[in-house]
Amino acid sequence: MINALTVDMEDWYHICGATDYADPSRWSLYEDRITKNTDKILGLLRRYNVKATFFVLGYIAFKEPDLIRCVEKEGHEIATHGFCHRRIFEMDEEEFEEDVGHSVSVISSITGKRVLGFRAPEWSIRKETFWALDILRKLGILYDSSMVPLTRMGSREFPVYPIKLDTLHGKLWEFPLSTVRCFWERLPFSGGLPLRLSPYFYVISSIMQLNRKGHPAIVYIHPWEFDTEKPAINLSMCRRSMHYLNIEATPHKVEGLLRHFRFAPVREVLGLVP
Ligand SMILES: [Zn+2]
Q: 10 CA distance to ligand 1 centroid (A)?
A: 6
Q: For residue 267, which of 134, 116, 125 has the smallest C-alpha distance?
A: 116
Q: What residues contact residue 125 under an 8 Å CB cut-off, 6+ apart?
A: 88, 132, 133, 144, 146, 147, 154
| Residue pLDDT, tens place only, 100-142 | 999 999 999 999 999 999 999 999 999 999 999 999 999 999 9
Q: 119 CA distance to ligand 1 centroid (A)?
A: 8
CA distances from 32 to 11, 88, 210, 231 (A): 7, 25, 37, 11
Report domain extents, the chain: 2-269
Average pLDDT along the chain: 95
Q: 193 CA distance to ligand 1 centroid (A)?
A: 13
Asked if 270 and 5 count as a contact pair (C-beta separation under 8 A), the reply is no
Check: pTM over 0.95? Answer yes or no. yes
Check pLDDT > 70 for residue 274: no
Q: 121 CA distance to ligand 1 centroid (A)?
A: 4
Determine the pLDDT at residue 254: 98
Asked if 201 and 171 count as a contact pair (C-beta separation under 8 A), the reply is no
CA angle 144, 100, 224 (to 5 degrees): 75
Determine the pLDDT at residue 268: 98
Check pLDDT > 90 for residue 77: yes
The architecture in CATH of the region 2-269 reads Alpha-Beta Barrel (3.20)
| Residue pLDDT, tens place only, 17-45 | 888 888 999 999 999 999 999 999 999 99
Q: 198 CA distance to ligand 1 centroid (A)?
A: 21
